[in-house]
Amino acid sequence: MASQQVTTRRIAPGLKARIAPTLAVVLGALGLLGVLWQAFGAGFGEKGNVPTFILITLNGLTLAGLLFITASGLTLIFGLLRVTNLAHGALFLLGGYLGLTFIQKGVPWLLAALLAMLATGVVGLVMHQLFLRWNQGQDLRQALITIALSLILADQMLAHFGATPTAIVPPDFLASPTNLGVYSLAYPTFRLAMLVGALVVGLLFWLVIKRTRVGMVMRAGVDDSAMTSALGINVQLVFAGAFFVGSALAGLGGVFAGTSYSLAPGQDQAFLVYALVVVILGGMGSLGGAALGALLYGLVDQYSSAYLPAAYANLSALLTFVLLALVLAVRPTGLFGKTR
């Protein structure tokens, strides 16, 4: 009798540990099968649902590209530098508004995007040097400081730019839609260019972090700043440069969002939440995880908006957080997060 109780106690924790991952996999598979059935159940002809599925998939991919550009900066700041920067969304919206201002003054789109990136990077750098540098490792204090800074920036942007949603005009060579060559479909060229831009950002980011001395110094400085400083390396200078780059990427994401969607008060908090979900999905500090997290988020958001029954269409935003819960049930540290 006693041995039977011991066996039950040994089995029960194992079963409990497997319930959540199994349920997550089953729910994810059922959701994917539901989407595929609605997309291909009526056949592959032009009168079926395949053309709509292609456009929805492209919407999800381009949204994922935008989220990755924004979240890659947060991955650098939050995941690698371990700085709790909850003003990242405010920097995102500030970059979009600065890009809009430059374009309205006659600056070409590409130059305006570059200037907005640099200006947003400088704002982030000033924020880091004045308010965050001296409390490294104090997560709660950093969170409170950056929340206060985000509220100040949001109020100033509301006062200066107003509450009316505005959009950035794309450059002329990206303004016309692109013929996809299938089912007589066309798609906005700028959104495709945004997806290409996300791939370029990801490649450059990976090369710098993994293949350059700056990336190695930054990772070493985060893991053991005292030893890195003892080797004669100015760790704070490297951290400042990384924070500048992360903030500049937030500004670039704002310019892309303002051009492909629009700019309006409240987007700062919305995109901060999106970026946090992407970073947590992928795992803290993982660039590949951020890319996969952005892809999952973008596709789930678009598929749920399009394929949920009409009575439940308003639950599409909720499903993105269901996605987060399912992934964390399988991998509590995120898809590519470290287990130690």
Q: How many domains does the chain have?
A: 1
Contacts 24+ apart (CB under 8 A), 29-38: 31/300, 34/307, 35/303, 35/307, 38/307
Burial class (CB in 10 A: 0-12, 13-18, 19+), 280: buried
DSSP assignment of 97-145, as one string?
HHHHHHHHTT--HHHHHHHHHHHHHHHHHHHIIIIIGGGTT-HHHHHHH
- 252 Cβ neighbours under 8 A, 6+ residues apart: 69, 95, 113, 116, 117, 120, 201
Is residue 17 a part of any domain in this protein?
no
Q: What is the pLDDT of residue 14?
A: 56
Q: List Cα–Cα distances, 96 to 102, 115, 161, in angstroms.
A: 10, 11, 11
Q: What is the pLDDT of residue 340?
A: 47
Residue 70 token pair: 């924004």
Is residue 105 a part of any domain in this protein?
yes
pLDDT values of the chain reduced to their tens digit, one per residue, 340 residues: 444 554 445 545 555 556 656 766 677 777 778 787 877 776 776 676 888 889 999 999 999 999 999 999 888 888 777 888 999 999 999 999 999 999 999 999 999 999 999 999 999 999 999 998 888 778 889 999 999 999 999 999 999 999 899 999 999 888 889 999 888 899 999 999 999 999 999 999 888 888 888 778 777 766 666 777 777 777 788 888 889 999 999 999 999 999 999 999 999 999 999 999 998 888 877 888 889 989 989 998 898 888 877 777 677 778 888 888 878 877 888 888 765 4
92-136 residue pLDDT tens: 999 999 999 999 999 999 999 999 999 999 999 999 999 988 887
Q: What is the pLDDT of residue 225?
A: 66
Is residue 70 a part of any domain in this protein?
yes
Q: Which domain covers residue 168, as residue numbers?
A: 45-300
Residue 41 token pair: 């159940």
Is residue 265 a part of any domain in this protein?
yes
**What DSSP element (H or E) covers 58?**
helix 50-74
Radius of gyration for the alpha carbons in the chain, expressed in angstroms and rounded: 22
Q: What is the pLDDT of residue 47?
A: 72
d(CA 224, CA 234): 13
246-258 residue pLDDT tens: 999 999 999 999 9
Determine contact, residues 35/307, Cβ cutoff 8 Å. Answer: yes
Cα torsion 298, 96, 74, 20 to 10°: value is -30
Is residue 168 a part of any domain in this protein?
yes
Instruction: With CA atoms as reference, report the closest residue to 117 among 135, 139, 92, 138.
Output: 92
Q: Strands 177-179, 186-188: parallel, antiparallel or unpaired by DSSP?
A: antiparallel
Is residue 109 a part of any domain in this protein?
yes
Q: What is the pTM of this model?
A: 0.87
For residue 156, give the CATH number of its domain. 1.10.3470
Rounded to a whole number of angstroms, the distance between the first and last alpha carbons of the chain is 38
Number of residues that this document lists for the chain: 340
Is residue 327 a part of any domain in this protein?
no
Is residue 72 a part of any domain in this protein?
yes
Side chain identity at 91, as an amino acid letter? L
Phi, psi dihedral angles at 183 (to 5 degrees): 55, 25
Q: What is the pLDDT of residue 69?
A: 93
